[in-house]
Structure 1
Amino acid sequence: MSRSSSLRYYILARLLLAPLMLWVITTAVFLLLRATPGDPVDALLGPRAPQAAKDELRDKLGLGKPLILQYFDYLWKLLHLDLGQSLTSQGQSVLEIIQKFFPATMELAVFSMAIAFIIGVSVGVLAASHPNTPLDAGGRLFGILTYSLPLFWFGMVLQLIFSVQLGWFPLGTRFPVTIPAPDGPTGLYSLDSLLHGNLTQFLTTLYYLALPCLTLGVLISGIFERIVRVNLKQTLQADYVEAARARGIPESKILLNHALKNALIPVITILGLTFAALLGGAILTEVTFSWPGLANRLYRAISQRDYPTVQGIVVFFAAIVALISILIDILNAYVDPRIRY
């Protein structure tokens, strides 16, 4: 079987497995929410509300039905792209909540990924190009620390230093109330401000993004650093690199034009996993920094027992991770001709 045919079969298999993965995730979330202690009706009306009012609201929300009927109702709505209505935001659908809050999370994730990639690759290259030196040991230590530090603790430490003590960065908001926020089709303040040519809004957006993105980006960068350092060390010992040295090619050109390109191939593979980690880390980051994103809204929905909102946001995140994972696999197959499926 040719490489192109095997790749087509692989892509088809991944596309067929994606709905199965989403179904498993939605089923697990559905069951876990109903297995945890607490009642969403009590969260809405309070534990001292009359029992008649509780029963009426429970029937209205469909929570009085048997569990299996609730499950099939949920799957039927999901197949029709109906994520339901929020229990805590009356008159607002889960889809509207996603449209409102996701741009803030997306902006946080994109800038954090950029910071993580730049820092991780830079430290990894510096450590690998100076083996058995203090720089190499420092790179290993950097990878261990950034991978193991609790994100919420690191975020609070940065807030105490740079916001509370030094007053360099703001706290608890995405944009100041004294300046009109960028208004555009994407909801991404950085992109909308550029589309309108408003440099003040763009710089203000970056200023408010700086600390939360730095927190998340630095901790995620350890993944890139470890992968780049290990693979670049192996690549620098390859035969074609030794041949390039024998031809008198400068070490800097060997590093950038020969070794680094091949060492970055595994980085493409872990981009999807890193993005999934970013979405998971975004919850802690947004809660720690009071960032008004979808992950923070998910945390509120979990604490308020808002079943439809939790289920809808988790399914939305899972669909994004599945899609990006497929795209990364396809890109990796085209970048690395040695891959066979």
Structure 2
Amino acid sequence: MSRSSSLHDYVLTRLVLAPLMLWLITTLVFLLLRATPGDPVDALLGPRAPQAAKEELRQQLGLNQPVWWQYLDYMGSLLRLDLGKSLTSQGQSVWEIIQKFFPATVELALYSLAIALVVGIAIGVVSASRPNTPLDLGGRLFGILTYSIPMFWLGMLLQLVFSVQLGWFPLGTRFPITMPAPEGWTGLYTVDSLLHGNLPQFFTALYYLALPCLTLGILISGIFERIVRVNLKQTLRSDYVEAARARGIPESRILIAHALKNALIPVITILGLTLASLLGGAILTEVTFSWPGLANRLYKAIAQRDYPTVQGIVVFFAAIVAIASILIDILNAAIDPRIRY
């Protein structure tokens, strides 16, 4: 089988499996929402509302229909890319909610990922290049701690120390109300402020991003630290590295130009999984820091029993993870032919 043919078959398989995964996630979320206790009508009108008003609203929302009919109706809407309308946002469509809140989540995720990559790779390289030393032990301990510490606990602790006690960082907002927020088509405050050449807005946006991004980024960095440390240790023991040492190449050059380049290949695979971790961690981060992002809006929709909003946001997140996973798999398959067989 030729290289191009095997890559084509691999990509085609991944593209076929992605819609199946989205369908399974959508179905699972749909059923779980209706299996959990609570009624969206009670959440909207209150438990003491007249029964006639409840029945009228239930009929308007289509909740009086059998579950199988609601499911078929919702799947038909999804095929038309219609995520429905929110039950709690005065008829606002789910797409409008995503458009409004998603940029804040993207900005939080991107800067957190940047911090995770820099911190994780740096600690992983130092740990692997100094085996069986206190630096190596510290790197392993860092990976264990970042994996085991609950995000919400660390977030609350950092807020108490750096925001409440020391007053170094702000709380509960994305931008100060005393300044005009950056405007632009991206919705990313740091990007829009740079596009308009407004440096004060840019640094202010970074200042408000700092604490939540550091919290999420440091916790996720442990993933990259463990991957880099393990793979770099194996690479440093490989034959071509030993041959480079025998030729008298400096150790620092061997580490950076030879070993690290190959040890970073698995990081590409981890990026797809880390995206899912970022979206999951973003929910806890946004709720803990009251960050006005889409994950925080999802949390509120769950509490309010807003079926269309919960289903729409979850499907949207799942689609992002599926697309990212496909792109990462294709990139890996192009780099490493063994993955395709």
Q: Does TM, scored on the shorter chain, surpass 0.5?
A: yes
Percent identical: 81
Q: Which amino acid aligns with 2:179?
A: I
- For residues 107 and 33 of structure 1, the distance between their equivalents in structure 2, rounded to whole angstroms, comes to 29
8 Å CA contact retained: 1:119, 1:221: yes
8 Å CA contact retained: 1:265, 1:336: no
Q: Which amino acid aligns with 2:5?
A: S
- For residues 338 and 14 of structure 1, the distance between their equivalents in structure 2, rounded to whole angstroms, comes to 16
**Mapped pair 1:168 → 2:189:** no
SS at match of 2:340: coil
Shift of 1:335: 2.8
- For residues 3 and 219 of structure 1, the distance between their equivalents in structure 2, rounded to whole angstroms, comes to 39
Q: 1:283 — aligned with what?
A: 283
**Mapped pair 1:194 → 2:189:** no
Q: 2:314 — aligned with what?
A: 314
Aligned pairs (5 A) from 1:246-265: 246-265=246-265
SS at match of 1:92: coil
SS at match of 1:59: helix
Q: 1:87 — aligned with what?
A: 87
- For residues 299 and 90 of structure 1, the distance between their equivalents in structure 2, rounded to whole angstroms, comes to 18
**Mapped pair 1:222 → 2:222:** yes
Q: 1:148 — aligned with what?
A: 148
- For residues 282 and 261 of structure 2, the distance between their equivalents in structure 1, rounded to whole angstroms, comes to 30
Shift of 1:334: 2.4
Q: 2:235 — aligned with what?
A: 235
8 Å CA contact retained: 2:7, 2:334: no
- For residues 340 and 48 of structure 1, the distance between their equivalents in structure 2, rounded to whole angstroms, comes to 60
Q: Which amino acid aligns with 2:270?
A: I
- For residues 334 and 206 of structure 1, the distance between their equivalents in structure 2, rounded to whole angstroms, comes to 36
- The CA deviation string for residues 299-338 of structure 1, in whole angstroms up to 9 with x for no partner, is 0000000000000000000000000000011112223355
Q: In structure 2, list runs of 5 or more residues that go unmatched.
A: none
Q: 1:129 — aligned with what?
A: 129
Shift of 1:114: 0.3
TM-score, reference length from structure 1 = 0.99
8 Å CA contact retained: 2:216, 2:281: yes
Q: 2:26 — aligned with what?
A: 26
- The CA deviation string for residues 97-119 of structure 1, in whole angstroms up to 9 with x for no partner, is 00000000000000000000000
- The CA deviation string for residues 15-68 of structure 1, in whole angstroms up to 9 with x for no partner, is 111111000000000000000000000000000000000000000000000010
- For residues 138 and 339 of structure 1, the distance between their equivalents in structure 2, rounded to whole angstroms, comes to 33
Q: 1:7 — aligned with what?
A: 7
SS at match of 2:223: helix
Q: 2:213 — aligned with what?
A: 213
Q: Which amino acid aligns with 1:204?
A: T
Aligned residues: 341
Q: 2:185 — aligned with what?
A: 185
- The CA deviation string for residues 154-193 of structure 1, in whole angstroms up to 9 with x for no partner, is 0011111111111110000000001100000010001100
- For residues 241 and 340 of structure 2, the distance between their equivalents in structure 1, rounded to whole angstroms, comes to 25
SS at match of 2:65: coil
- For residues 161 and 332 of structure 1, the distance between their equivalents in structure 2, rounded to whole angstroms, comes to 42
- For residues 54 and 339 of structure 2, the distance between their equivalents in structure 1, rounded to whole angstroms, comes to 59
Q: In structure 1, list runs of 5 or more residues that go unmatched.
A: none
- For residues 2 and 126 of structure 1, the distance between their equivalents in structure 2, rounded to whole angstroms, comes to 40
- For residues 161 and 118 of structure 1, the distance between their equivalents in structure 2, rounded to whole angstroms, comes to 24
Q: Which amino acid aligns with 2:58?
A: R
**What's the C-alpha RMSD, in Å, of the aligned pairs?**
0.7
- For residues 5 and 145 of structure 2, the distance between their equivalents in structure 1, rounded to whole angstroms, comes to 43
- For residues 107 and 156 of structure 2, the distance between their equivalents in structure 1, rounded to whole angstroms, comes to 21
